[in-house]
Amino acid sequence: MKGSLKTGFSFGLTSGVITTLGLMVGLNAGTHSKLVVLGGILTIAVADAFSDALGIHMSEESDKNTTHKQVWESTFAAFFAKFIIALTFVVPVLLFELLTAVIVAVVWGFLLLVILNYYLARKNQHSTWKMIFEHLLIAIVVIIITHFVGLWIGTMFS
């Protein structure tokens, strides 16, 4: 796979997992509404995928060694990876009760992060477990913080 596609894909996948899990956990804690969580996921899949794609586009354009074609490859890869990964989190919400769906989504998201980090660590000859642990720890911190933010919002505005 080309470097520009790897850049966009790994960025989109990581952002798709972290952002969508944070959103799901926070909205669940604050609303306990399947419809709100589903709406949030769909909004993330569209709006945040475009935002991330533009962000990677601007980042790649700032590198004078990146060609115009590579910029667009990274842009499209980031958009489609974020869009598709975010949409995969709709499935557990449609199939399960909300709390179960959130747990399934967390497991799914962690699995995606483990697979991506394993691949990247092996490819770049880094410590596999260190890289996996580091990025899962970040995901856990995001989940914990968004849970408490969701609880706070739920108490402040309900």
Q: For the whole prediction, is pTM greater than 0.85?
A: yes
Higher pLDDT, 18 or 1: 18
Domain housing 63: 3-156
pLDDT-derived band at 157 (thresholds 50, 70, 90) equals confident
**pLDDT (mean) for 66-84:** 94
> In this predicted structure, what is the pLDDT of residue 144?
98
pLDDT-derived band at 158 (thresholds 50, 70, 90) equals confident
Higher pLDDT, 2 or 138: 138
> In this predicted structure, what is the pLDDT of residue 143?
97
Distance CA 42, CA 75 (A): 20
User: Which of 16, 137, 146 is CA-nearest to residue 79?
Assistant: 16
**Percentage of the chain exceeding pLDDT 70:** 99
Task: Give me the number of domains the chain comprises.
Answer: 1
pLDDT (tens digit per residue) in 59-70:
999 998 989 999
Map the chain to HEC letters: CCHHHHHHHHHHHHHHHHHHHHHHHHHHHHHCCHHHHHHHHHHHHHHHHHHHHHHHHHHHHCCCCCCHHHHHHHHHHHHHHHHHHHHHCHHHHHHCCHHHHHHHHHHHHHHHHHHHHHHHHHHCCCCHHHHHHHHHHHHHHHHHHHHHHHHHHHHHCC
Residue 122, pLDDT > 70, answer yes
pLDDT-derived band at 4 (thresholds 50, 70, 90) equals confident
